[in-house]
Amino acid sequence: MPHFIAMLSARKFDVLVIIAMTSIYFFSFFQRVGVPGTIFNEIQGDSQLSQGEFLAAGAVTALGAIYLYIYGGLQLFIGVAIDRLGAGRVLLAGGLLLCLGSIAFPLSPNLALLYASRALVGWGASVMFLALIKSIDVRFSERNFAPILGCVLFVGYAGGLVATAPLQRAVAEWGWRNALLGAGIICTAAYLATALLLSREKKEAAKNAPPFSWQTLWRTLLNHKAYPIIAVCMMNFSVYFVIQSNVGKKMLEDCCGITKSQAADATFTMMLLSMAVSFAGGFLSRAIGNRRKPFFIAASLITAAAVGAMSLQLATGFFQGDSAKLFMVGCIIALGLSNVEQALTSAAAKESNPAECAAFSVGYINSAVYLFIAVLCSVAGWILDSFSAQAVKTGDALIYPPEAYRNLLFVLFAAALFACVSALFIRETH
């Protein structure tokens, strides 16, 4: 295998590196979406963790929040490290932590170890996207950056896709611990294959490290052109994430009375649509002269419309019975269209800042986005817990009233409206 790597041309090696790194990114996205969203009820009712009682909703959503606080908090530092040391080295260090956390999480016998292993997953996952940004930036032309990133995001979202309905079925067959342990083992195999491929890359990274400049980083932080991009992505993706990866599946189960499998199918379709539009976004932008702003505006309007419609439905009960179920499922699926901006966010951030800070400029935005998501996940848990007295206990779940989700959706709708206004101030870079 090492001889085969040495025989590859520079272009083929570059392509193979991106594919290998993306395979680990697949599993970081799997962890992001699957926990706690798909297995919310299973963790909340796990007797080994709760000693016969249901865990508080805040304790479950904290599993997502821990990942996000660590992920978001490290983005600035990870961006500097990647720009300085190269993507390969940093990705291998983070990938090792991701593998350790992915295997330790389903083996954890108590809540404290569950949180600790989840922290490892968040730490490891925090390097993946920025490492790919940097690798694409140094290996391919500026014109192809957004389309290639769209392909990478497509594979990443595929990891999230597997973490919806397929994970739900695996959990029903083997239990949540065995299902996640299997995913952790496969992730480790992908990591080992990537490490073998990057053995040549590590030697080259140190030679090409750019000089460190606090002045350049400070200029990036104070670049007001990037602020509207940050605001739009921070609001739109946070709303999407809270629904997709935290409470959306449970909301459908609690408010619409549909089964776990049906709710997982809805988030599966939502993720599938997200994959399609994130993949297409870069190509569509290039087709209209590398314009970005129309996509940010469209994504903001879609987010506001979908969340606003769901909050109105829960507030008024306009639709009843099967019509209400179809309406709520349709809104959640439509929310997947908001991800048309994802590849363009990184492209616009990179284009608005100095070239030598490619990873840092995207990490800057990611830091704001994921810290805000972590706050929203904590708020979601707090809102649900505030209605725990009205919650109905069943054999394997706590069913929260529609009023709890309505209040949460009002908060998300306010964030979506802010994104709509911010999108108007984004400047085109072409």
pLDDT in tens, 108-147: 988 999 999 999 999 999 999 889 988 888 877 777 777 7
Mean pLDDT of all residues in 9-35: 88
Q: Which of 369, 356, 353, 429 is nearest to 134 (CA)?
A: 356
64: pLDDT strictly greater than 50: yes
| Residue in 101, 108, 157 with CA at minimum distance from that of residue 126 | 101
Confidence of residue 174 (pLDDT cuts 50, 70, 90): very high
**Integer Cα distance of 212 and 218 in angstroms:** 12
pLDDT in tens, 208-247: 455 556 676 777 777 788 889 889 999 999 999 999 888 8
Res. 49: pLDDT tops 90: no
Strand partners, 399: 392
C-alpha span between 80 and 75 (Å, rounded): 9
DSSP three-state, residue 54: coil
Please report where in the chains the tokens 């697949």 appear, as a residue: 26
The mean-pLDDT minimum among 199-203, 270-274, 371-375 falls in 199-203
Residue 233 structure tokens: 């992505």
d(CA 410, CA 430): 35
What is the reported pLDDT for 245? 83
Is residue 399 helix, strand or coil? strand
Residues 243-288: tens digit of each pLDDT: 988 889 999 999 998 988 999 999 999 989 988 888 888 778 878 8
Q: What is the pLDDT of residues 180-194, one digit of tens each?
A: 999 999 999 999 999
DSSP state of 426: P
- CA dist 247 and 384 (Å) reads 10
Range among 27-31, 37-41, 341-345 rated most confident? 27-31
Tens of pLDDT, residues 84-118: 788 888 999 999 999 999 999 999 988 999 999 99
Q: What is the CA radius of gyration of the chain?
A: 21
- Above 90 in pLDDT, residue 26? yes
Name the pLDDT band for 153 (thresholds 50, 70, 90).
Answer: confident
Specify whether the CB–CB gap between 165 and 265 falls below 8 A: yes
Question: φ and ψ at 217, to 5 degrees?
Answer: -65, -40
Reply yes or no on whether the pLDDT at 203 is more than 50. Answer: no
- Maximal CA-CA distance, the chain: 66
Mean pLDDT of the chain: 86
> In angstroms, how far is the first alpha carbon of the chain from the final one?
42
Q: Which two tokens stand for residue 156?
A: 């990443």
Q: What percent of the chain has pLDDT over 70?
A: 91
SS3 of 385, please? Answer: helix
What whole-number distance in Å separates Cα of residue 300 and Cα of residue 292?
13
Segment among 27-41, 200-214, 234-248, 304-318 with least mean pLDDT: 200-214
> 326-370: per-residue pLDDT in tens?
999 999 999 999 988 877 887 777 777 666 666 677 778 888 888
Q: What is the pLDDT of residue 316?
A: 92
